[in-house]
Amino acid sequence: MLAEIITIGDEILIGQIVDTNSAWMAKQLNLCGIKVKQITSVSDDAEHIVEALNAARKRANVILITGGLGPTKDDITKITLSRYFNMPLKRDEETLKTVEGIFARLNRPMIELNRKQADVPEGCTVIQNKNGTAPCMWFEDQGAIFVSMPGVPFEMMYLMEEEILPRLKERFQLPFIYHKTILTANIGESFLATLIEDLENSLPESIKLAYLPNLGQVRLRLSASGSDEQQLKTEVDHYATLLMERISQYVVADEDITLEKALLNLMESRQLTLSTAESCTGGYIAHLITQHPGSSKVYEGGAVTYSYALKEAVLGVKPETLQNFGAVSEETVKEMALGALARFKTDFAVAVSGIAGPDGGTPEKPVGTVWIAVASASGVTAKVFLFGNRRVQNISRSAAAALNMVLAQVKLAEAK
């Protein structure tokens, strides 16, 4: 079973919004045993949409379409589908009741433009959208299934989870797909590949290994598909165990989670707490941590101290340290970490100070120079990193390096 995803909207093509719908849909389809053949983004142009539909039906059995179902003139998906399938629009009474109910609950007046949301191509299967005014439309044509959904993420997600995926599972006998992910850190992709080359070569044809590198980390994903769920899991887990034994010093987690989530899980299991002292990352480390539910069990809080004055007042960095060595230095970042540890009363504290760029660098401290320190009751350790000259990437790299350092120190403390 192959699927294709088509997202419609000029706002995607000009970069005004990021197409998160396709990534989410692809993941859900894959978990159901449906492989995504291609993801396509097209403009709000009827000819362009038709070209995409014609091309997709040659590659896939199921074509999932999002976007272009609003009430305004620039939303042309419904009209285009009406013409494509030669189905004139008709007003669907059940959809009209749904739309009227939404406006009644919101206590808002309803105009004819809103009522037109209930106009659907005659002959399609209408699936009610309980979270919005644009209905979902299911078409079947020459052996292919076309499903048009609104582009609003929470509306699309509801329809996929509650309506579309259950219908596809009921209609087709789908294979079981199993993924096993191993998160590694502090080793590059090429070095990792060299360490496990023989194990990778020994994998049966039914199991595929993918390398998914990111800042300071690499995910190894073992994947297999078939009809026997238990056999697949047993075989994949066997090879995952062999891999983890080989690279045990670099393994952070044996599940598909982020680096900060792996750190939170480890620290929570050890009943340890963490605080942060950020300068060049501007609170980004705190953001990564606190986006996860339950992070308060580990993370006490932190401070963003950009100026000398705040480094002194909030974290207790000595004025002479800043004057003699500057904000971006081993001495300063160590005092920042120790200050956070003492003031926030946590088991571990991490501090970051650097030159994110694109300006502010010197020959001695070029753009991309970042000092990171981790403090605990055992003492404080610091390390300098030399990243590139792009600000956003430097902030992301600094955060990843900081999380990796904390993780290493927590493991080291555990080993003692």
CATH code for the domain in which residue 184 is found: 3.30.70.2860
CA 23/CA 43 separation, integer angstroms: 19
CA 163/CA 259 separation, integer angstroms: 33
Q: Is residue 130 scored above 90 in pLDDT?
A: no
The structure tokens listed for 296 are 């308060």
Q: Within this chain, do residues 391 and 289 fall inside the same structural domain, yes or no?
A: yes
Q: How many domains does the chain have?
A: 3
Query: What band does 70 get if pLDDT is binned at 50, 70 and 90?
Result: confident
Q: How does pLDDT run across 335-394, given as a tens digit for each residue?
A: 999 999 999 999 999 999 999 999 999 999 999 999 999 999 999 999 999 999 999 999
Q: Within this chain, do residues 282 and 387 fall inside the same structural domain, yes or no?
A: yes
Q: Within this chain, do residues 33 and 156 fall inside the same structural domain, yes or no?
A: yes
Q: How does pLDDT run across 182-200, given as a tens digit for each residue?
A: 999 989 999 999 999 999 9
Query: What band does 5 get if pLDDT is binned at 50, 70 and 90?
Result: very high
What is the pLDDT averaged over residues 200-225? 94
Q: Within this chain, do residues 166 and 292 fall inside the same structural domain, yes or no?
A: no
In terms of Cβ atoms closer than 10 Å to its own Cβ (0-12, 13-18, 19+), residue 84 is: middle
Q: Within this chain, do residues 95 and 212 fall inside the same structural domain, yes or no?
A: no
Q: Within this chain, do residues 146 and 249 fall inside the same structural domain, yes or no?
A: no
Q: Is residue 416 scored above 80 in pLDDT?
A: no
Q: Within this chain, do residues 191 and 138 fall inside the same structural domain, yes or no?
A: no
CB 122 within 8 A of CB 159: no
User: Which of 142, 171, 200 finishes a domain?
Assistant: 171
CA 8/CA 24 separation, integer angstroms: 16
Across the chain, mean pLDDT equals: 95
pTM of the model: 0.79
User: Which of 253, 279, 310 finishes a domain?
Assistant: 253
Q: Within this chain, do residues 26 and 42 fall inside the same structural domain, yes or no?
A: yes
Q: Within this chain, do residues 307 and 236 fall inside the same structural domain, yes or no?
A: no
Q: Within this chain, do residues 130 and 212 fall inside the same structural domain, yes or no?
A: no
CA 369/CA 371 separation, integer angstroms: 7
pLDDT, position 186: 87
Residues paired with 303 in a beta bridge: 277
Q: Which residue has the higher pLDDT, 259 or 110?
A: 259
Query: What band does 73 get if pLDDT is binned at 50, 70 and 90?
Result: confident
Query: What band does 334 get if pLDDT is binned at 50, 70 and 90?
Result: very high
Q: Is residue 120 scored above 90 in pLDDT?
A: yes
CB 385 within 8 A of CB 370: yes
CATH (domain of 28): 3.40.980.10
Q: Within this chain, do residues 125 and 16 fall inside the same structural domain, yes or no?
A: yes
Q: Within this chain, do residues 157 and 14 fall inside the same structural domain, yes or no?
A: yes
Containing structural domain, residue 114: 2-171
Question: Which amino acid makes up residue 285?
Answer: I
Q: Is residue 226 scored above 90 in pLDDT?
A: no
User: Which of 150, 171, 192 finishes a domain?
Assistant: 171
pLDDT, position 89: 95
Q: Edge to edge, what strands does the sheet with 125-127 contain?
A: 35-42, 2-8, 62-66, 144-149, 136-141, 125-127
CA distances for 133 relative to 19, 124, 175, 244, angstroms: 21, 17, 34, 49
User: What contacts 24+ positions apart, CB below 8 Å, involve 321-326?
Assistant: 326/365
Q: Is residue 48 scored above 90 in pLDDT?
A: yes
Which single residue is written with the structure tokens 């760029």?
Answer: 357
